[in-house]
Amino acid sequence: MSRIAKKPIELPNGVEFSVKGREVSAKGPKGYLTLTLHDAVNLTQEDNVLTLSPRDERQSSLAVTGTMRSVINNIVEGVVNGFEKKLQLVGVGYRAQAQGKQLNLSLGLSHPVNYPVPEGIEIETPAATEIIVRGCDKQQVGQVCAEIRAFRPPEPYKGKGVKYADEQIVRKEAKKK
């Protein structure tokens, strides 16, 4: 079994964790998340410690156990602290503005892009060229960032586009005569 799957998950104070059959749910200060456990994984809860184990010794069961442990740990982390990703707009005239449940983007296209913010996600624009995406579900935060980035991915010649704050764009040299 992998080292990740063997590590127990400690539940912090303020988290209500419940297991009903194959359904797992966690409730904390930042929100409420549920998950359906894979059939090849057993979950045991003793006091404030969760441990996962495979139902059999097949290689696939061992691999799924590590994945389930990571997903459950992300759920616990999300309902306690939440997750955050930052995006940057690079380019002349590129702007972002959050208005209620909608993100308005000006990305050098012939039309403005209006992105409806999904339920459970908060989008903040502290500056015209910065976007901060927050939420308790790590997968959903990453998906929203990927969808926003897909409107205008960074290009390698001038570096213009929507990029993650920590992303390095590999620049190419222009053609020479």
**Cβ contacts of residue 139 below 8 Å, gap of 6+?**
74
Residues 37 and 105 placed together within one structural domain of the fold: no
Partners of residue 88 on adjacent β-strands: 130, 163
Residues 98 and 159 placed together within one structural domain of the fold: yes
Residues 149 and 130 placed together within one structural domain of the fold: yes
Predicted local confidence at residue 47, as pLDDT:
86
Q: Are strands 9-10 and 16-20 parallel, antiparallel or unpaired?
A: unpaired
Q: Is 95 inside any structural domain? A: yes
**Cβ contacts of residue 109 below 8 Å, gap of 6+?**
152
Residues 49 and 64 placed together within one structural domain of the fold: yes
Residues 95 and 120 placed together within one structural domain of the fold: yes
Predicted local confidence at residue 1, as pLDDT:
62
Predicted local confidence at residue 84, as pLDDT:
96
Predicted local confidence at residue 131, as pLDDT:
96
- Provide the domain limits for residue 110: 83-164
Residues 62 and 127 placed together within one structural domain of the fold: no
Residues 98 and 141 placed together within one structural domain of the fold: yes
> Please, is 120 exposed, middle or buried when counting C-beta atoms within 10 Å of its C-beta (0-12, 13-18, 19+)?
middle
Q: Is 143 inside any structural domain? A: yes
Predicted local confidence at residue 4, as pLDDT:
85
**Cβ contacts of residue 112 below 8 Å, gap of 6+?**
104, 105, 106
CA distance 101 to 39: 37
Predicted local confidence at residue 130, as pLDDT:
96
pTM for the structure as a whole: 0.89
Tokens of 21: 């059959």
Look at residues 80, 111, 143 and tell me which one is the last residue of a structural domain. Answer: 80
Residues 88 and 126 placed together within one structural domain of the fold: yes
Residues 92 and 131 placed together within one structural domain of the fold: yes
Residue 128: CATH number of its domain: 3.90.930.12
Nearest to 147 by CA among 110, 111, 121: 121
Task: Give the neighbor-by-neighbor strand order of the sheet with 16-20.
Answer: 16-20, 23-28, 31-36
Q: Is 93 inside any structural domain? A: yes
- Across the 177 residues of the chain, what is the mean pLDDT of every consecutive 10-residue run? 84 91 92 93 90 88 91 95 96 93 94 94 95 96 96 94 94 87
Q: Is 173 inside any structural domain? A: no
* Tally of structural domains, the chain: 2
Residue range 57-92, pLDDT digits in tens: 888 888 899 999 999 999 999 999 999 999 999 999
